[in-house]
Amino acid sequence: MTDATEPFIDERTAFDSYLRSEKQLSPRTQESYARDLKKFFAYCQHHNITQFDQINAQSVRQNLAQLHRAGLSGKSLRRWLSSLRAFFRFAIRRGWLKYNPAEDLQAPKIEKKLPKVLDADQASQFVELSGDNFLDRRDRALLELIYSSGLRLAEVAGLNIQDIDLQDALVVVTGKGSKTRTLPVGKQAIAALRQWLAVRTQAVSADEQALFITARGRRISHRAIQLRLQQLSQRQSMDNPVHPHMLRHSFASHMLESSGDLRLVQELLGHANISTTQVYTHLDFQHLAKVYDQAHPRAQRKKSGD
């Protein structure tokens, strides 16, 4: 419940109603706005800012710097600024403000984190599951297919039987924006899929078209796949838990490392913009730099001297 001493309570209530009724945002998004705005109004309360004409770019900038010093990430700060801009635009329409004090402010740049990947040996160690029961076959086919074709979690979970062509070793996936793409499937994945399809009929429900199902015969969920990979990470003695996107990242990195063709990797991953794919050039460079440091005699001498 909002503390009565906090400023702009009525205005915040009106904004909440606007987000819910007119914008029809999800409860989760509304909560995100509320958390961001609460940070700013706590700042206002601390500095005795109780009227809109007391809010200016300087006060927003000071709060931004304060949150940055407190350790809020660049991504969170950008979202915080976006929430403030939305609230101030609403305030302008209501006549409470004459201009948007957050409009020209910029959050610190977001540091791009390189995705974690497995090297080729680690990837093989993870996907080569032993065992011949129902779940063993399903999990082996699931892992092999993700790594073989670089699929997203949602893409592999959404696959239907008719999306796989074992004869021509192809899979049709539906990616972001409902865009479909046809991808090659490696021979190891095809072999694993054949083994899986031979036992899938034992549990599948009559009307279920999903390629990957649970022991109860229904489509496996995103969360179930994530949890299963965590369990398999321990079973396969991996150093760290492996999640579905790590297999996708590993596929991309290994393809780029072998082919050097960034456009090819972009097409395979289904990236709309090649700038999204370019992160893997940094991964490839890191790999080359690591090999150089290990192999080059001058690099070794420098390292031992240090």
- Catalytic residues, by residue number, are 152, 176, 245, 248, 271, 280
- Burial class of residue 67 (count of CB atoms within 10 Å of its CB; 0-12, 13-18, 19+): buried
Inter-residue contact 211 to 164 (CB < 8 Å) = yes
CA dist., res. 294 & res. 109, Å (int)? 33
Q: What residues contact 165, with CB distance under 8 A and at least 6 apart?
A: 171, 172
DSSP H/E element including 140:
helix 134-149
Partnered with residue 183 across adjacent β-strands are: 171
Phi, psi dihedral angles at 230 (to 5 degrees):
-65, -45
Q: What is the DSSP letter of 215?
A: T
Give the CA angle between residues 211, 217, 221 to the nearest 5°: 65
In degrees to the nearest 10, what's the CA dihedral of 147, 152, 156, 160? -130
Provide the 10 A C-beta neighbour count for residue 265. Answer: 24
Tokens matching residue 155:
């893409």
Tokens matching residue 293:
């440091």
In degrees to the nearest 10, what's the CA dihedral of 239, 269, 173, 273? 140
User: If DSSP codes are grouped into helix, strand and coil, which group holds residue 183?
Assistant: strand
Tokens matching residue 49:
């800012």
* Residue from 223, 220, 230, 227 nearest 159 by CA: 220
Partnered with residue 213 across adjacent β-strands are: 219
